[in-house]
A and B are shown apart, each in its own frame.
Chain A
């Protein structure tokens, strides 16, 4: 199974999903780059994994719990939380409006 070929329309759609602003001259280059990368990825389908389960972690650890306690040493003060915010107002982060009035 293989053969995904990226078009500039695919790139536009993915860019929108990933919230990556693109200039129009970037779309073609990205599509070309993705197609190069997919020739490497497609090799995945030439190895037999029919008897193998997917795995997403390698530690072998299971159910790592901690006490449900507040760790104050890891808490920010309001000032620390806001110290790197590009826009803050009266102790809050400022965000762009996303709903119409």
Chain B
């Protein structure tokens, strides 16, 4: 048995019982990296001291387990580039709160994973250091922007990983790579020391092989951080504790399956089937219709969320990326890639005099409309379920000449991201011919991580889509 194929839960238990050793675990992880990394381009940097650091923390809760960490978390001693030439060879002088907390709990950063440059995209194809390929089928993209982290989990090159999501960047690559990705509520996990993209949206979170694994990682990275004023005092729970509570009595709304991009699709059918499964387990399940206006028991069309997101995301990008002047660190602004240039410039336009009122303010009104819509819906429903992405992972090269590629692939997650909600992707179908997966997105209200994890756990236990994990 290859130890790198185990889940986080299995590895921790087996290390504790001394059934396996850290050196054997790291040997198998590094062997997988040596065999596949050159082909799949998942890790941009590796820590040669990882095993040594693991042995020091072997008695800690995470027992020295190797994690893949997206290359926008600042990690002193290990280069951090956000996959951009602007930050090529940059060694951060301070550490992100999340990696600091992960290390404190005994997690080890085995390497930094590839991403869309500056997290701008949904393919990991816009990385200045070349695309990552999907380990399930290397002719296909892993999704993004946390594509390297999702691929590292799917390819058994780490036990679990960290990503960040602005709108879909954890859940969509998790869907395309057939793994579990948890986007916590905005403000649940600190953004301090993470290269900023859309500051009002950015949410760091775990990617793992199972629902339990993501819940466990969330336990150690969530919480108020005095260095990030947008983090909440809302109590951090033990998210693994009530995982098996079930969905009896839970009110579940099925969303977006009447959207024109999904009508009659395989993924829409998978979500309807999930609804039936939940009903069988005692949940009360309804289908919610799409609407073009705020009306009781309807959900606003994600098309409007896409329009609004495009405006305020570009605006926040132009502001956040203004700091890269090549004076204090990094290379000059001529080193930005095409996608970053497009986003910075469009955001400069939407924030410029005369246009800010027209576009930026209008977008923020639409954002508020979505928040009100969810506020109403969560009076009736505990969780909402929908497809994560309209289809399977696309082929390499799919982004060429499409300036809106990312937004369309992420569209179904933009309403919940814009509103700061919690969401989790769980594999909901597998195509045996292509070996690719579809994903279901389970969305909860703010601070309702426990509920979405409970629902995801029921689905995971009752379906076969997560059975790629080798049973120990």
Contacts and interface: CB of A to CB of B under 8 A. Distances in A.
Contacts of A54: 361, 364-365, 367-368
A90 interface: no
A58 B329 contact: no
Interface string B430-472: 0000000000000000100000000000000000000000000
Contacts of A22: 341
Contact of B344 (A18, A44, A61): A18
B422 to A, nearest CB: 12
A84 B323 CA distance: 14
B346 A37 contact: yes
Contact of B346 (A34, A52, A85): A34
Contacts of A81: 93, 328
B200 interface: yes
Contacts of B306: 40, 43
Nearest to B348: A18
Interface string B247-283: 0000000000000000000000000000000000000
Interface string A33-54: 1101100111111111100111
Interface in A60-85: 61, 64, 66, 74, 76, 80-81, 83-85
Interface string B207-242: 000000000000000000011011010000000000
Nearest to A53: B368
Most B C-beta atoms less than 10 A away, residue of A37, A46, A74, A76: A37
A59 B420 contact: yes
B381 to A, nearest CB: 19
Contacts of A74: 94, 227
Interface residues of B, number: 64
A44 B304 contact: yes
A5 interface: no
A83 B368 contact: no
Interface stretch (B6-14, B117-125, B151-159, B331-339): B331-339
A85 B230 contact: no
Interface in B392-412: 403-404, 407
A41 B407 CA distance: 12
Interface residues of A, number: 51
Contact of B326 (A20, A26, A76, A86): A86
Interface string B302-320: 0110111011100000100
Nearest to B446: A58
B355 to A, nearest CB: 8
B90 A84 contact: yes
Contacts of B371: 55, 58
B362 interface: yes
Interface of B: 90-91, 93-94, 186-187, 200, 226-227, 229-230, 232, 292-293, 300, 303-304, 306-308, 310-312, 318, 322, 325-331, 333-334, 336, 341-342, 344-346, 348-349, 352, 355, 358-359, 361-369, 371-372, 403-404, 407, 418-420, 446
25 contacts: A19-B333, A22-B341, A30-B341, A37-B310, A41-B359, A44-B311, A47-B292, A49-B368, A52-B365, A56-B364, A58-B418, A58-B420, A59-B186, A59-B232, A59-B420, A61-B230, A64-B230, A66-B226, A74-B94, A76-B93, A83-B91, A85-B327, A85-B328, A85-B329, A86-B329
